[in-house]
Amino acid sequence: MQPVRPPVRPAFLILPLCLVAALAACLPTGGMRPEPTPTGAEDFASFCAACHGPQGLGNGPQAASLPRRPANLTTLSARNGGSFPMTRVMGKIWGYAQHDGQVMPQFAPLLDNQNMVLFDSGDGISTPTPLRLVQLGQYVETLQR
């Protein structure tokens, strides 16, 4: 007479499957993982410091060779009655506050299609805004003296 095999208990199947799933979730996703978003300080060092200087004083290594002197970014609030002109600064970085004889490049192409955040620049209206643009504006605000 054949011995009767005990039925496999479902718990013995489910437990290893759970472990495999948990391990798979921990594996690196290879090249699929998006690059971490640079901080405002990092973006400033990469894209602004050459002209405006590492502290935003307007004395970067490229400043001397420019047709116009890069603005001193540490006195923006002082020159604006004591309040930081966030909207104007972001507009300048983005490039829609451009005019003839513009020296500073437009950063919109660089910052576009990035993480968007809802940002209220002070008018009470939250607008979808590239995170890196917000971070740059906030970083420039920290340079105020």
Judged by CB under 6 A, does residue 50 bind ligand HEC?
yes
The residue count for binding ligand HEC (CB under 6 A) is: 21
Judged by CB under 6 A, does residue 68 bind ligand HEC?
yes
> In this chain, which of 52, 53, 129, 132 binds ligand HEC, going by CB under 6 A?
52
Judged by CB under 6 A, does residue 86 bind ligand HEC?
no
- CA neighbor of 76 nearest in space, from 63, 91, 64: 91
Contact call for residues 24 and 43 (beta carbons, < 8 A):
no
Residue with tokens 């799933």: 21
Compute the distance between CA of residue 74 and CA of residue 58 in angstroms, rounded to an integer: 9
- CA neighbor of 93 nearest in space, from 68, 66, 112, 67: 112
Closest contact distance (angstroms) between CB of 86 and ligand HEC is: 10
> In this chain, which of 86, 134, 136, 143 binds ligand HEC, going by CB under 6 A?
136
Judged by CB under 6 A, does residue 104 bind ligand HEC?
yes
Closest contact distance (angstroms) between CB of 81 and ligand HEC is: 14
N-to-C CA span, the chain: 93
- CA neighbor of 91 nearest in space, from 142, 137, 38: 137
Where on the chain is the footprint of ligand HEC (CB under 6 A)? 47-48, 50-52, 62, 66, 68, 70-71, 73, 89, 92-93, 102-105, 107, 136, 140
